Amino acid sequence: MRRTSLQSKPKAEPMHDKQSERDHRQLRIDKVGVRGLRFPIQIRDKERLVQNTIATIGMFVDLPQEFKGTHMSRFIEVLNSHGNMVHVENIEDILHAMQAKLKSATAHLEMEFPFFLVKKAPVSGMESVMDYTARFVATACGKEIDFVLTVKANVTTLCPCSKAISRYGAHNQRGEVTVQIRSKKTIWIEDLIALVESSASSELYSLLKRQDEKAVTERAYENPVFVEDLVRNVALKLNAHRDITWYKVEAENFESIHNHNAYALIEKG
């Protein structure tokens, strides 16, 4: 015979929700949430429809002064509920879901990820993969959405002054250009990269054969630019784009003959 237990299971005690307790310091928090979260995503690709990459993500909301803390797990719930296809169109949905889930007036989403392009060497035509850095920063305040796209691309710059005063050659260096934009319509990451690379002395390649190296070296020599020229060249092309409403362009040259870097910035709007 089966023995029947006469003792009932102990009743589970309720778990305390410490985050929802009242705080009496009367200080609201502008941004609270999670940062440094690595998450596999798919990004829209102009040539191949989508590409798989890994983003480092930050998710934040505001916290009214009366609440002690926020519920960190809910950020992860929101992110996972939207799957791994991330593009400009569904960022708004993620932000509004954060507002609703965490009962907040504002929500912020930051995503930084490597973006890859297949490039052909200028003479041999050999293909190789180049990596760039892209970043989405989006904020929802009520129903209003603010979205900033950032792209970082490395380029070659050759010094015009060095070329003018030297009997042999001219010093050149790698430079990093960072472009941030707001726009009325979606701007392809690839188009922003092409705009930056066409503004420098030469673009970079992952794979160069001897004839390609000759072509790239001579191209840079024939097209010298200061760091000031570089940001102005990028800014002129952004000014000509009717859908871009605001931008910030930064260029930093990692100097080859100085123990410091050269830097320039232009911001519009």
Regarding pTM above 0.85, the answer is: yes
Q: Let me know: does 146 contact 182? Beta carbons within 8 Å.
A: yes
pLDDT at 122 over 80: yes
- Residue-level pLDDT at 24: 66
CA distance 92 to 147: 9
Q: Give the closest residue to 261 by CA, choosing from 230, 237, 215.
A: 230
Domain residue ranges in the chain: 26-268
CA distance 177 to 20: 44
- Residue-level pLDDT at 18: 57
Q: What is the pLDDT of residues 210-248, one digit of tens each?
A: 999 999 999 999 999 999 999 999 999 999 999 999 999
- Residue-level pLDDT at 136: 96
Mean pLDDT computed over 18-44: 82
Q: Residue 107 belongs to what H/E stretch? A: strand 106-120
Q: Which residues of 88-97 are buried (b: 16+ CB within 10 A; e: fewer)?
A: beebeebbbb
Fold of 26-268: Urate Oxidase (3.10.270)
Q: Let me know: does 229 contact 193? Beta carbons within 8 Å.
A: no
The neighbour count for residue 34, using CB atoms within 10 Å, is 16
Q: Sorting pLDDT into bands at 50, 70 and 90, what band is 47? A: confident
- Residue-level pLDDT at 201: 97
Q: What is the pLDDT of residues 75-119, one digit of tens each?
A: 999 988 887 776 777 899 999 999 999 989 999 999 999 999 999
CA distance 82 to 135: 19
Q: What is the pLDDT of residues 164-212, one digit of tens each?
A: 999 998 999 999 999 999 999 989 999 999 999 999 999 999 999 999 9
